[in-house]
Amino acid sequence: MKRRPLVAASAAALVAVFGLTACSGGDSAGTAANGVDAATATSADDFGSFDELVAAAQAEGELNVIALPETWANYGAIIQGFEDKYGITVNSASPDVSSAEEIQAADNLKGQDTAPDVFDLGTAVALESTDYFAPYQVQTWDDIPAENKEESGLWVNNYTGVMSIGYDSDKFEAPTSLDDLLGSEYAGSVALNGNPTEAGAAFAGVGMATVQQGGSLDDFQTGVDFFQELNDAGNFLTVDPTPATIAQGETPVVIDWSFNNIGQQAETPSWENAVLPGTAYVSYYNEAINADAPHPAAARLWMEWIFSDEVQNLYLEAGAFPVRLAAMDEAGTVDADALEAAGGLPEEQVTATTEETEAANELLATEWPKVIS
């Protein structure tokens, strides 16, 4: 970590203590050279132009991101691309923490140089943490469907996966329905990525089982019942699957996001990704700027970067479906090969609404422990 010069730091401290507004011409933290306060900017125009935003971000020189595993939805390449393009150092902290822990980190590190600048969050956490976000509208704002963004830009959907079944093709045929997984050849083989009372991906797994088994999302019991059957058949593997357990063969079948299962292929060539026919379960993740970002301009530039054609295509390359996919498809800027490799967006897709999610959480809290016992 580079330290800020003492003068600027003291100025920032003075501002914090006495509520002084930074005077123009000073280069105290959070103020671009032309006197724009980056922390309150809600679009690139507030900086004067996109180039001015880039200049302000480069003056800060650093960006803190959190909870972005390099193997998740191509984040390794996305971070690298940002560094190469703008010459800004990206500090990636705690790649494997959950969405809830991102917000805790913002709380614990508030006012420090190491606090996260931007978040990548699951929907449940995003909706209950809006106080932490700063509104911002990216240049490609109009491309993003209204239902995929908060109207002022507090949070914006960035990408989604489809719930899929990753499996080792050396051992198994491609499953065509969930009921296939109940067969004896799958004994002790089927893992779910996380615990649905804790992890978004696992929650989506139960959602997927619900719709695949003919239930509706206002009652996740259908999905819980499927996992109960899976466990009774002796096929449910209750260890937490990681790239290591997949590579070692310990978890030969994993229910997870398609982009994780596609990402695993680089390490495990025999790993295949099966999206079941019928209704697909999707759930967008959300991009948001920390209202107390230590690098407010860099945070806004990152936001622009995430919703640029380049990064939206990088998501697609990893098998995640970016939020601007439809608009880019129309404009002809989409990476056609990547879209084909990702299997195209399924015809029929569903996701749990806020009310459905709450009801499902209550149900899972009491019913999920019974599945295992």
**Cα–Cα distance measured from residue 157 to residue 159, given in angstroms and rounded to the nearest whole number:** 6
Nearer to another protein, 86 or 119 (CB): 119
Question: Counting contacts by CB under 8 A, is residue 191 touching another protein?
Answer: yes
Among 194, 294, 319, 322, binds another protein (CB under 8 A): 194
Identify the burial level of 225 via C-beta atoms within 10 angstroms of its C-beta, where 0-12 means exposed, 13-18 middle and 19 or more buried: middle
Segment 98 to 137, residues that bind another protein, using CB under 8 A: 98-101, 104, 121-122, 124-125, 127-128
Q: Considering the complex, what minimum distance in angstroms separates the CB of residue 225 from another protein?
A: 15
Binding residues for another protein restricted to 217-236, rule: CB under 8 A: 231, 234, 236
Residue closer to another protein by CB (options 77, 199) is 199
Nearer Cβ to another protein, position 87 or 234? 234
Site for another protein in 305-324 (CB under 8 A): none
Site for another protein in 354-373 (CB under 8 A): 357-358, 361-362, 364-366, 368-369, 371-373
Spell out, one character per residue from 198 to 217, where the chain touches another protein: x when CB under 8 A holds, - when not.
Answer: xxx--x--------------
Residue 6-45 contact track with another protein, rule CB under 8 A, x = bound: ----------------------------------------
CB of 100 to another protein, least distance (A): 5
Q: Where along the sequence are the contacts to another protein (CB under 8 A)?
A: 97-101, 104, 121-122, 124-125, 127-128, 187-189, 191-192, 194-200, 203, 231, 234, 236-241, 245, 248-250, 357-358, 361-362, 364-366, 368-369, 371-373
